[in-house]
């Protein structure tokens, strides 16, 4: 991968003879107060973002939050009503200049973005030629990116016979044709199986390692953990949160865990004992009796009570916790809380 990310710009020395001033390169993607309406519907309302080189910025939000519109504004497909979009410091205005369009690769959310009657290679070569590659170079790059997305075996098949996942991978391959410094990825893993999703994220992470800035729109809240560097949570066109993934998790309110408690020797429900033991640090709710296998309890931890401490209290009193799992992830809880759905 050869992302072309400009380094720091060294300006000339000042007239007073000072050392050359070093100004940092502009961020690959910068949005200032972007607004967009579709008739009466507010799609984006004062969205500001800054995405650095070599990082993945997740755009998180429910359906209809404005993620796709935001990406379309960033690519120049949709003009904002107000505000400013800059790619590598260049302001997008009106019909996007050809030079700007060389700066980014785009993975659209839709499925049908290829010529279905012709092969994957022919599709990629066609788009490569439109990006200014010679036919020979386009053929070489097509083979390389097809290998990267593990579609070499299907290279000569018409795209029409490709599965949804294969088309998504092909879309990613097209976006990587020029190793652009910016990647806009809209719902790339939507409807993909876990293995294919992981492969897509791996490919994008590879581009990031060589300096690309990635905007990754998703509604799959848990896929951003350990993947995205920063996250913007958007809902009904408004930014509800902007920060790192741990910061997002920090906004999560009570954490809910499902405990599987072993059947007590004396029989009877343990819910009262657990409630007494945990006291005000947790709420305890019944979540199903397993008969001879034991009992399920839902515990909602308050404040900064650690799950380990709570389990230790139960264990010290002879209550055997067979299994424990988070009912909803912290990211999911934060998502629901911030979007008002939780």
Partner 1 sequence: MIVSTTPNKRAALLEEIRKLPAFFRRDLLVTWSYKLQFFTDWINLIGQVVVFYFVSGLVNPETMPSYGGTQASYLQFVTIGIAVTSFLQVSLARVTAAIRNEQLQGTLETLLLTPTAPATFQLGSAMYEIAYVPLRVILFLGFASFLPGVSYTIQGLPEAVAVLVVFVPFVWGLGVISAAATLTYRRGTSFVGAGASALTISSGAYFPVAVFSKYPFLKFLAALNPMTYALYAIRNALLGGAGWGPTLIAIAILLPVAAATLAAGVWAFRLALRREQRRGSLGLY
Among 28, 61, 66, 108, binds partner 1 (CB under 8 A): 108
- The DSSP symbol for 6 reads -
Tokens of 172: 């990613």
Q: Is position 257 an interface residue for partner 1 (rule: CB under 8 A)?
A: no
Alpha helices, H only, the chain: 67-75, 98-101, 120-130, 135-148, 164-175, 194-209, 245-250, 271-278, 307-316, 330-338
Tokens of 269: 């429900």
Q: Is position 339 an interface residue for partner 1 (rule: CB under 8 A)?
A: no
Beta-strand ranges (E) seen in 219-281 are 230-235, 238-243, 255-261
| Per rule CB under 8 A, count of chain residues that contact partner 1 | 44
Tokens of 221: 């809240």
Among 2, 10, 99, 202, binds partner 1 (CB under 8 A): 99
Instruction: Report the alpha-carbon distance of residue 233 to residue 215 in Å, rounded.
Output: 13
Q: Is position 32 an interface residue for partner 1 (rule: CB under 8 A)?
A: no
Residue 265 buriedness (CB in 10 A; 0-12 / 13-18 / 19+): exposed
Shortest Cβ distance from residue 68 to partner 1 (Å)? Answer: 10
Stretch in the footprint of partner 1 (CB under 8 A) among 9-17, 22-30, 88-96, 262-270: 88-96
Q: Please say which residue, 118 or 336, places its beta carbon nearer to partner 1.
A: 118
Q: Is position 277 an interface residue for partner 1 (rule: CB under 8 A)?
A: no
**Interface map 45-74 toward partner 1 (x if CB under 8 A):** ------------------------x--x--
Residues that bind partner 1 (CB under 8 A): 36, 38, 69, 72, 75-79, 90-91, 93-102, 106, 108, 110-118, 122, 125-127, 129-132, 134-135, 158, 174
């Amino acid at each position: 991968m050869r992302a072309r990310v400009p380094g720091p710009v060294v300006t000339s020395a000042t007239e007073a003879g000072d050392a050359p001033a070093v100004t940092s390169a502009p961020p690959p993607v910068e949005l200032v107060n972007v607004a967009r309406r579709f008739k009466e519907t507010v799609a984006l309302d004062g969205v500001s973002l800054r995405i650095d080189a070599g990082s993945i910025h997740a755009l998180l939000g429910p359906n209809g939050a404005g993620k796709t519109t935001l990406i379309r504004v960033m690519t120049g497909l949709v003009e904002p009503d107000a505000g400013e979009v800059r790619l590598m410091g260049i302001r997008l205005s009106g019909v996007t200049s050809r030079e700007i369009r060389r700066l980014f690769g785009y993975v659209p959310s839709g499925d049908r973005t290829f010529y279905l009657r012709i092969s994957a290679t022919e599709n990629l070569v066609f788009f490569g030629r439109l990006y200014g590659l010679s036919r020979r170079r386009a053929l070489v790059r097509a083979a390389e990116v097809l290998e990267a997305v593990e579609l070499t075996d299907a290279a000569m098949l018409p795209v029409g016979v490709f599965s949804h996942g294969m088309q998504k991978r092909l879309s990613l391959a097209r976006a990587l044709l020029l190793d652009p410094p910016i990647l806009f990825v809209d719902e790339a893993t939507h409807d993909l199986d876990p293995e294919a999703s992981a492969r897509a994220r791996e490919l994008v992470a590879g581009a990031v390692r060589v300096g690309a800035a990635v905007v990754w729109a998703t509604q799959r809240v848990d896929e951003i953990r350990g993947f995205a560097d920063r996250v913007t949570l958007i809902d009904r066109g408004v930014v509800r949160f902007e920060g790192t993934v741990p910061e997002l998790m920090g906004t999560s309110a009570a954490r809910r865990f499902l405990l599987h408690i072993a059947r007590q020797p004396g029989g009877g429900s343990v819910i009262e004992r657990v409630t007494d033991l945990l006291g005000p640090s947790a709420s305890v709710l019944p979540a199903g009796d397993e008969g001879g296998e034991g009992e399920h309890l839902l515990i909602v931890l308050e404040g900064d009570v650690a799950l380990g401490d709570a389990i230790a209290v139960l264990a010290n009193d002879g209550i055997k916790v067979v299994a424990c799992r988070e009912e909803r992830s912290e990211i999911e809880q934060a998502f629901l809380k911030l979007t008002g759905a939780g």
